[in-house]
Structure formats: C-alpha cells, structure tokens
Amino acid sequence: MSQSGATVSQECITAFNELKLNKKYKYIIYKLSDDFKEIVVEEASDDKEWDSFREKLINATTKNKNSQGATGKGPRYAIYDFEYSLASGDGIRNKITFLAWSPDDAGIQPKMIYASSKEALKRSLTGIAVELQANDSDDIEYDSILKTVSKGLAA
C-alpha cells in the first residue's frame, strides 16, 4: 500500500507481465480509480502508433474528489515497450519504460495522490528499464523520449 492509501490491483501486474513476457501489448495506461483507492488499468493496447498513445495521455481526465463530479486534466502512469534500432547497426533493443504523466494544469489533489502512489505501482512491476516524468505535451514527444530511452544510441 502506498502512502496515499492507493493499492495496486492484480490486473495491473497481470497486464504488465503480458506486455513484458508475451509482447501482448505495446503500452498500458494506468489510472487511479474514481475513489482514489486503487490503481487500475485504464487501457492496454497493442497499437504501435506513438501519437495515439500520446493523445490518450494528453486528453486524460480525472474526477476531482471534492467537487461534485467535476473533471479536469488527469495524471496517469504508463508503461511503454520502446523498440529501437541502434545507430551502430548492432541490432534492435527493447526498453520497458515507466512514464509518470502529471500535466502542469491538472488539479493539485490528483497530482499529489498520483505522486504518492507512484512507488507502490513501480514496486509491483518488475523489469522497468527507464523511468520518465512528464509534465507537458512537449515532454512526451516521441523523438525526445526515444533519445532518453536509448541514451542517444537510436538510429
């Protein structure tokens, strides 16, 4: 259990293992349940199109706990299985990347709960190679993330 009290659902671990071991998914987007008590899978997809993944993060919304059903920009956690070719011609590499998406214009309460729940999720997922924090749409441009994930070695 995290400091915020949010627990990680078994579904989160199962989906991650299917991505990591069976290559069933290209990415998984996790969110906090509407009552902020559990981390759940919002979507697991085999869609290899980065832009559609990025749009889902940018357009994510979350309910505000205290406002009666009001929604605003929402933080998310995501796992993305990056695959890239080395510029040296030494083959293809995979890096399972953990992305903590917390847009600057999201509500303060959701951002705090996401920040305090992140470690619980990360501890549950064995095999994360890279962790990134993103706070605006420029932070999740494919080329800049690829450069970070590949340490500049991608073709």
What is the token pair recorded at 27?
A: 């990415």
What is the token pair recorded at 96?
A: 């399972």
Please give the pLDDT value at position 67. Answer: 56
Please give the pLDDT value at position 57. Answer: 96
Rounded to whole angstroms, the Cα distance separating 65 from 114 reads: 13
Please give the pLDDT value at position 1. Answer: 47
Please give the pLDDT value at position 17. Answer: 98
Low-confidence ranges of the chain (pLDDT < 50): 1-2
| Nearby residues of 70 by Cβ (< 8 Å), 6 or more positions away | 63, 64
* 64-93 b/e (C-beta count within 10 Å ≥ 16 → b): beeeeeeeebbbbbbbbbbebeeeeeeeee
Evaluate whether 35 touches 3 at the Cβ level (below 8 Å).
Answer: no
Rounded to whole angstroms, the Cα distance separating 135 from 155 reads: 26
